[in-house]
Amino acid sequence: MRIPCNFSSRGYWCSKNFKDQGVFVPEYKRNPVFHGIRYNPIGFQSRTTWSARIFVGFNIGLRQGFTLKNLIALVRRVRIEQTGLPNSTFLTQKGIYTYTSGKYAGKFTQEKGAQVIILNVPPTQVSKKDFEAQMQKLAEIIAKKFTQEQVVLEIQKNGQVQMTYGMIP
């Protein structure tokens, strides 16, 4: 029989239907294995971290043309070319986009999309200037391959936006 209970100095238990209840005191002495504060191992440490967010829509015109799977494959390929590693994070989202020029000027579309998040940390860490250039190139490639009017790129320092670009193909 399994009894759900709280193993503090006095244990309280009850059955699943709450008909049977009780209190008991454990007959063993509690021996913590570790005393004091235990710290997690640190892989790296930085007072200043540069990062980028790239906002991408999946529509071509008013119809969906791409998926998250397409975006992941493209970012993986470009980041391996840039740094040797594909390290990146993706958040899916939905948005409303209003076209500003071309055949759909003035029209809007509700579209699926994603954010690509890249941190400039070891082992792929480069200078701020090189990181910004890499992100601009990546955003430009995404805009071109995904046939986007523009892709929004944010460069951040410690989570605060430092510069925003509207990258066009």
Shared-domain flag, residues 74 and 111: yes
Shared-domain flag, residues 18 and 101: no
Domain membership of residue 100 (yes or no) is yes
pLDDT, residue 151, reads 95
* Listed ranges 19-23, 25-29, 48-52, 97-101; the one with the highest mean pLDDT: 48-52
Q: Does the pLDDT at position 1 exceed 50? A: no
pLDDT in tens, 80-106: 999 999 999 999 999 998 888 788 888
Domain membership of residue 169 (yes or no) is no
Domain membership of residue 12 (yes or no) is yes
pLDDT, residue 11, reads 57
Shared-domain flag, residues 23 and 103: no
The boundaries of the domain holding residue 127 are 50-156
Domain membership of residue 37 (yes or no) is no
Q: Does the pLDDT at position 7 exceed 70? A: no
Tokens encoding 109: 């579309």
What CATH number is attached to the domain comprising 116? 3.30.70
Domain membership of residue 163 (yes or no) is no
Domain membership of residue 38 (yes or no) is no
pLDDT in tens, 9-24: 555 566 666 666 666 6
Q: How many Å apart are CA 21 and CA 121, to the nearest integer?
A: 54
Domain membership of residue 41 (yes or no) is no
Instruction: Kindly give, in sequence order, each residue whose CB lies less than 8 Å from that of residue 59, ignoring residues fewer than 6 positions away.
Output: 65, 97, 109, 111, 112
Encoded amino acid at 50, one letter: W
